[in-house]
């Protein structure tokens, strides 16, 4: 367990570092669209775990979440749960897994590994966004081209973009979406987290 904890912290630190390195390649994109401000917020009723119609037993829902516990850290103040192959979809995509990160019993971050792209759904729902190319080709496309196209009045990303990160700041939450499409890999990751999640995690880490 100690080794797993060290690996987990190392991955977190690497992730934070990579985010800071991308700051210089980001670009803000403004669009005119009717925005739906409803976020996924999966744990509401834990429908991703138990899709039985009419099941409103809160104790049963909590039991179901406990069954998906992956690990607890920092004297049990931080814990996360992994749900594999949930039945629900996220927007138009199937979901391979959902990881929920809690600190002091508060859900601070949810990560979805998806089966297909949801970039169009996110643009339609959340509107204006920030985008960063994650390799040299995509950085150049983001800097030099009009990256939005229109199909039946629906704004879509230029299909030549195949390795990028999109982000939205919405009140108390941050939404991140990362996509990779090439001949050897296809990855679609959506992250929903509280604005102060990273700060809360660092505070717990410092105490221990």
Handedness of CA 117, 119, 120, 122 (dihedral sign): positive
> What pLDDT score does 144 carry?
82
**35-55, pLDDT tens digit by residue?**
444 344 444 434 343 333 344
Looking at every residue in the chain, the average pLDDT score rounds to: 76
- The model's pLDDT over 57-68, given as tens digits with 9 standing for 90+, comes to 545 555 667 777
Q: Domain span at residue 10?
A: 2-207
- Global pTM value: 0.74
Please count the structural domains in the chain. Answer: 1
Q: Is the pLDDT of residue 165 over 90?
A: yes
């Amino acid at each position: 367990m100690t080794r797993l904890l060290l690996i987990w912290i190392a991955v977190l630190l690497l992730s934070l570092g990579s985010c800071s390195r991308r700051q210089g390649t980001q670009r803000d994109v403004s669009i005119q669209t009717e925005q739906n401000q409803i976020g996924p917020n999966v744990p509401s009723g834990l429908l991703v775990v138990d899709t039985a119609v009419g099941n409103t037993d809160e104790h049963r829902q909590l039991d179901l979440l406990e069954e998906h516990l992956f690990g607890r850290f920092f004297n049990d103040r931080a814990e996360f749960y992994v749900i594999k192959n949930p039945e629900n979809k996220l927007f138009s995509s199937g979901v391979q897994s959902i990881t929920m990160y809690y600190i002091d019993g508060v859900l601070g971050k949810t990560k979805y590994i998806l089966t297909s792209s949801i970039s169009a759904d996110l643009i339609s729902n959340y509107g204006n966004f920030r985008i960063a190319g994650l390799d040299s080709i995509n950085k150049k496309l983001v800097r030099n081209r009009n990256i939005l196209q229109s199909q039946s009045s629906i704004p879509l990303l230029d299909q030549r973009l195949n390795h990028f990160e999109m982000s939205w700041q919405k009140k108390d939450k941050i939404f991140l979406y990362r996509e990779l499409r090439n001949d050897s890999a296809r990855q679609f990751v959506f992250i929903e987290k509280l604005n102060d999640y990273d700060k809360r995690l660092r505070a717990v880490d410092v105490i221990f």
